[in-house]
Amino acid sequence: MDGIDNAVAIVTGASTGIGRAAASRFVEEGARVVVADVNVEDGEETVDELEAMGGEATFVETDVSERADVQAMVETAVDTYGRLDFAFNNAGIEGASGPASEQPLDNWERVIDVNLKGVFLGLRAEIPAILESGGGAIVNTSSIAGVVGFPELSPYVASKHGVVGLTRAAALEYSGEGVRVNVICPGVIDTPMVERSSEADGNVEQAIAATPMGRLGEPEEIGDAAVWLCSADSSFVTGETMVIDGGYVSQ
């Protein structure tokens, strides 16, 4: 892909799943990557994998809901590699399920803090650094729950709808300044989060059955899209909500 070689990218939630797949794809295209996650062991394992591929990568322990952590993440990218070109704000959690009227307040707050506030803090810290580097692109991770509703997941659905709206606003604000901002809405992807959900409620088989393509998505399919949205190949794309779900929301 054009425009990725020798660039610097941050990937949050990069210890496993979609984040790790995207970090690998960035390295394959020649980028240097800051791997950000709260999970230190798996995050450092991601870095080891990227370096084994011949890439350059640095791990930063980051809770995306904490302003100081996010700022330190961006500062690490600039201090280590001299610039920041791209960011994939991918970190997220599913939270507990249950009817809206029975949702514990602490669950609501934690899901919103990580999934929505975390993306906001990312944009707030990343955009100035990207502007200083002469422009670039940001991709945020939402979900099919960002475009349709799901019962008993009100905090998650609200947070993911918020990411879509936040992305559109930021895209309009910075489109004339050389920073493109887009959002990906994955369907049911074969990740540790989906594995946990399956163990908790067994609904993954139902989700597969409800997906026209009849299978789980692969993390690499989302990672490829994220890197493409950062590349020069997508230079006229901003404010886009890219749904990658095997046809689920088209029904």
Burial-class residue 82 by CB neighbours within 10 Å (0-12, 13-18, 19+): exposed
CA–CA separation, 2 vs 234, rounded Å?
A: 9
CA–CA separation, 125 vs 132, rounded Å?
A: 12
For the record, the structure tokens of 216 come out as 């789980």
Catalytic residue among 81, 156, 174, 248: 156
248 noted as active-site residue:
no
Name residue, tokens 């960011």.
87
Can you list the alpha helix ranges (DSSP code H) found in the chain? 17-28, 40-52, 67-81, 105-112, 118-132, 154-174, 192-201, 204-210, 219-230
List phi, psi (to 5°) of 203: -85, -5
CA–CA separation, 186 vs 145, rounded Å?
A: 9
Terminal alpha carbon distance of the chain? 32
Exposure class string for 87-125: b at 16+ Cβ within 10 A, else e: bbbbbbbbbbbeeeeebeeebbebbbbbbbbbbbbbbeb
Burial-class residue 23 by CB neighbours within 10 Å (0-12, 13-18, 19+): buried
Q: Note whether 22 and 14 are within 8 A (CB).
A: yes
CA-based max dimension of the chain: 51
List, by residue number, the catalytic residues.
156
